[in-house]
Amino acid sequence: MGETVFNHLESADHVDAEIGARISAGEPDRGLTGNVTYEFRTAGKRLFQRGVVAHVTVDENGGTSDPRVFATGDATLPSKGMEEIPRQIADSLGPDKIQFQSKAIKVSDGSVTLEDGRIILGKQIVVATPEPVLQDLLDIKTVNRSVGESCLYYSTDWVPPFKEPFLLLNGDGYGPVNNIAFPSMIAKEYAPAGKTLIAVVVVDDQFIKRTDLEGEVRSQCREWFGDIVNKWEHLRTYQIEHALPDQSPPTQNPYLLPKPISENIRICGEYQSLPGLQWALMSGHMTGKNITKTV
């Protein structure tokens, strides 16, 4: 895991380059390269755990979710937006199979009741909502907890001082920002020509309830990027109450599906697995396969 992450950390190269320059200038090595690089790598690993892993696991200590997914993969986005992923999967179902804007309020064996009063009948029902919703729909109590998150979007003419689409992690150990992504550096379609789209993620309820969250985020970004941040245009803040399942250890085994509620009602999604798109998709895939075996 480490090598891939650190090979992509621009500052790692700076550290090694700086040490290399000092050695070429005649400074004795004294094991410095090894130590400093080791210290940098250890600090980098902690930073990685606090940032990416905390984001996906919401566990400041690193949690037990598998960070290899983030460490070994590239930063990617569908150029037409995240919606393109379910859209392309749903294409194979044909038209009128999916109803949008239809809130479910109750699930029983054989039927789903919608908010507008309609009742949909089905032999097999899969509930793939966030867990708090699942509890209401099925009138059950589960012990799992969710954690809130805020996502603040900015537009700017400013160009970040690096060429690759890094996910920046907060290594300061304080402040509201967990990580910053630059979606328009991954797919140019995410911003008009000449503009950069910035997405700042703030994890945990203690921050998202602050009255001046935007001001605090801007102030922390100013520490990192300078006064240019004053010119960033704040586009919108999304407050997501149930953003991620709490991942305090022991976390779920994503390869084990949750016990079905009954013979005809199953649950899937990240709330009984690990947070992240790949686990949610895998959970849906495994559930679908199980249904085809029994129906």
Interface contacts to ligand FAD, rule CB under 6 A: 103-104, 128-130, 133, 149, 151, 201, 240, 243, 269-270, 275-278, 280
Calculate ∠ Cα 10-15-16, nearest 5°. Answer: 100
Minimum CB distance to ligand FAD, residue 52 (Å) = 9
Closest to ligand FAD by CB, 66 or 270: 270
40, 66, 143, 154, 170 from 44: Cα distances, Å: 6, 17, 34, 27, 11
Closest to ligand FAD by CB, 129 or 196: 129
Closest to ligand FAD by CB, 44 or 183: 183
Minimum CB distance to ligand FAD, residue 32 (Å) = 37
Minimum CB distance to ligand FAD, residue 190 (Å) = 13
Closest to ligand FAD by CB, 40 or 273: 273
Minimum CB distance to ligand FAD, residue 266 (Å) = 13
> Contact 163/54 with Cβ under 8 angstroms?
no
Handedness of CA 259, 265, 266, 269 (dihedral sign): negative
End-to-end CA distance of the chain: 41
Minimum CB distance to ligand FAD, residue 241 (Å) = 10
Handedness of CA 94, 97, 99, 100 (dihedral sign): negative
Residue nearest to ligand FAD (CB): 269
**Cα separation, 133 vs 241, whole angstroms:** 12
**Cα separation, 19 vs 139, whole angstroms:** 61
Size of the chain in residues: 295
Closest to ligand FAD by CB, 19 or 282: 282
Closest to ligand FAD by CB, 42 or 111: 111
Minimum CB distance to ligand FAD, residue 232 (Å) = 18
